[in-house]
Amino acid sequence: MGGQACVFYGAAEFSRDTDFAILADSANLERLRRALEDLQAGCVAVPPFESKYLRRGHAIHFRCLHPEAFRMRVDVMSKMRGVDSFGKLWRRRTTIELADKTVCDLISLPDLVKAKKTRRDKDWPMIRRLVEAHYFENFEKPNSSQIKFWATELRTASLLIRLASNHTALVKKHASRRPLLAHALSGRANKLEHALASEETIERKKDERYWMPLLKELEKLRHPKC
């Protein structure tokens, strides 16, 4: 669900770790433990590898020591802000087969975009590139679900205005969900740019509020009372 997924979807990102969304039930966590043992991976930060932390929304971090994955970091999460439960993510996943016949399950593009709406500076340019790449790959003969995705997630003013011009009725349909589409429909690029910036700020603040209690919990784990 991280940098490797971004590469697949056409928005290349150098990633120092491998991010996984996982189902945090007991059987699956035991499978994960065995896989981490094969990778000679140990937990490198707080919180510890316990299901209660995954279910509350924490990420758990591991470092691999196996020669074929030496120093690779693995981050796992089970719950993310603004993103559906694992079961729904799994049903919408994208499955690919690599050259060596290895099968990989990736978080779907719309779900990846939602997961990237964080307080981190690096995630917002990535969202823009992800949706742009999908637009340019499919804009000549789009279906209604693709148009809905672009109308609700594009962060490029010029492309939103073009989309509104080419698919006015469908864009109007989604304007109640995303009010800034009114500026795209009227072709007001300057107001649209301001509205996009405001939308980003609102999402960043939501993410900050979401993480506030989780960060406090991490601080308590780092500095337990003697």
Residue 220 domain-assigned? Answer: no
b/e burial code for range 131-152 (CB count within 10 A of at least 16 → b): bbbbbeeebeebeeebbbbbbe
Whether 64 and 146 map to the same domain: the answer is no
Distance of alpha carbon 156 from alpha carbon 62, whole angstroms: 36
Per-residue pLDDT tens listing for the chain (226 residues): 888 888 888 877 666 789 999 999 999 999 999 999 999 999 999 999 999 999 999 999 999 999 999 999 999 999 999 999 999 999 999 999 989 999 999 999 999 999 999 999 999 999 999 999 999 999 999 999 999 999 999 999 999 999 999 999 999 999 999 999 999 999 999 999 999 999 999 999 999 999 999 999 999 999 887 5
Of 86, 115, 144, which one is at a domain's C-terminal end? 115
pLDDT tens readout for residues 98-119: 899 999 999 999 999 999 999 9
What domain range is 130 assigned to?
Answer: 123-211
User: Which pair of tokens denotes residue 170?
Assistant: 């469908």
Identify which of 184, 176, 178 has the alpha carbon closest to the alpha carbon of residue 156: 184
Q: How many separate domains does the chain show?
A: 2
Whether 60 and 132 map to the same domain: the answer is no
Distance of alpha carbon 70 from alpha carbon 75, whole angstroms: 15
pTM surpassing 0.85? yes
Residue 223 domain-assigned? Answer: no
Whether 159 and 192 map to the same domain: the answer is yes
